[in-house]
Amino acid sequence: MNGPQRMDRPQVYAPSPARAEGAVVRTAEGAVVRTAEGGAVRTAGGAPAHRPIHAPARPAGIPSADIPLAGRAIGAIGAIGAIGAIGALARRAGRMCRTLLPSACALCGRVQAEVVCAACVAEHFAPEPRCPLCALRSPQGRRCLPCRADPPPIDAALTLGDYAPPLDALVLALKRGVALPHARWFAEALADRLADPHAGTPPARPAASYRPWPDLLIPIPLARERLATRGFNQAWEIARPLGRRLGIPSDATVLARRGDAAMQHLLNLNDRLANVQGAFVVTRRAAIEGRHIGIVDDVMTTGATLREAAYVLKAHGAVRITVLCALRTP
């Protein structure tokens, strides 16, 4: 008994409206053909081709095996371009907001676009000679007597001005009033000062390891209790925009504080030095080994905290330490 006879269905092809005339496709049989008018796929003989499979034309100079990789590369380039465009748009929007919604100068109250007006910057933040190791005022930018007698593990120190009226109000508003725009302004001012060769002091210890800008920015960490109470680390709020402005990475996790020490501002110099001994720990040696590290803080008072942080970082492989502090106690 003969089995049921199989009847071949006629092959029917429904053209895709999205397929343009002349598009290159590959049939199930492997033949590469081009679409005719209306998007229908035709073989060389003019007959309809069955079950077409799209085969994009290979770009010139790229082997067929590399087409997926090239596509991913082109997509990545497009994504990077989109991110750059978004960043430029965000910066433009920020400038527009400062123009349309001006603020009062934090020092004199004059209504203008920035946290500190240009007149107050010229009056209170003019560069002046300072010790290259501790940022105290020093004639002709030479090392001060304490730094000559007991050189710190700091290779260079940079500050914007003295922590004294009226400038101290900027830091107090940042820490106690959560005036976070002050942190951004400090970061921009530090970046400008670091980039201006006439604004700072010459390198303290020129050596083969000397590099003008740090490779990595690290904020002085807060004690856990203080961080929980304040809700943010003002040094980190300065370090982040500073790194973005300079194109330098920043990391708030490389240096950690061990335990909760007593508040430094309540202690004298000797007690401060004893209070911070062993206060810091490096969490990832590989992140700092062989690198120039920039330590960021809001105020450098006696320098005890920054000295200890620099000592620990160098003990774990840092080759150079630059301190970047917004203000310096005279």
Write phi, then psi, for 192 (nearest 5 degrees): -65, -40
* Maximal CA-CA distance, the chain: 116
> How far is the CA of 152 from the CAs of 78, 83, 111, 254, in angstroms?
48, 42, 42, 21
**What whole-number distance in Å separates Cα of residue 259 and Cα of residue 278?**
10
Report the helix count and the strand count for the chain, using DSSP H and E. Answer: 9, 12
Closest CA to 124 of 66, 174, 177, 169: 169
Contact between residue 80 and residue 54 where contact means Cβ atoms under 8 Å apart: no
Whether residue 165 sits in one domain with residue 50: no
Is 70 among the domain residues? yes
Is 6 among the domain residues? no
**Nearest 10 degrees: CA dihedral of 302, 204, 243, 195?**
120
For CA atoms 50, 51, 57, 63, the dihedral sign is negative
Contact between residue 278 and residue 293 where contact means Cβ atoms under 8 Å apart: no
Interval 131-150: pLDDT, tens: 999 999 999 899 999 999 99
Whether residue 186 sits in one domain with residue 298: yes
Residue given tokens 């501790």 in the structure block: 134
Is 107 among the domain residues? no
Whether residue 198 sits in one domain with residue 72: no
Is 176 among the domain residues? yes
Closest CA to 251 of 274, 225, 280, 283: 283
Interval 273-324: pLDDT, tens: 666 778 899 999 999 999 999 999 999 999 999 999 999 999 999 999 999 9
Q: DSSP letter for 150, please.
A: S
Whether residue 310 sits in one domain with residue 202: yes
Is 90 among the domain residues? yes
**What whole-number distance in Å separates Cα of residue 162 and Cα of residue 195?**
20
Whether residue 87 sits in one domain with residue 139: no
pLDDT at residue 58 tops 70: no
Q: Locate 26 and state its tokens.
A: 């590959």
Whether residue 51 sits in one domain with residue 183: no
What is this structure's pTM?
0.68
Whether residue 232 sits in one domain with residue 198: yes
Whether residue 81 sits in one domain with residue 54: no
Q: Locate 325 and state its tokens.
A: 């502090």
- Beta pairing partners, 26: 32, 53
Chain centroid offset of residue 86 CA = 16
- Beta pairing partners, 159: 325
The band of 92, judged by pLDDT with boundaries at 50, 70 and 90, is confident
Which amino acid, 269? Answer: L
Give me the domain span that covers residue 81.
66-101
Whether residue 200 sits in one domain with residue 82: no
Whether residue 155 sits in one domain with residue 89: no
Contact between residue 264 and residue 304 where contact means Cβ atoms under 8 Å apart: yes
Whether residue 71 sits in one domain with residue 168: no
Is 114 among the domain residues? no
Contact between residue 280 and residue 223 where contact means Cβ atoms under 8 Å apart: no
pLDDT at position 158, please? 95
Whether residue 289 sits in one domain with residue 153: yes
The band of 103, judged by pLDDT with boundaries at 50, 70 and 90, is confident
Q: Which residues fall within 8 angstroms of residue 174, CB to CB, at 6 or more apart? A: 180, 182, 183, 186, 234, 237, 298
Is 30 among the domain residues? yes
Is 19 among the domain residues? no
pLDDT at residue 202 tops 50: no
Number of domains in the chain: 3
The band of 52, judged by pLDDT with boundaries at 50, 70 and 90, is very low
**What whole-number distance in Å separates Cα of residue 196 and Cα of residue 41?**
67
Report the CATH number that the domain containing residue 155 is assigned in CATH: 3.40.50
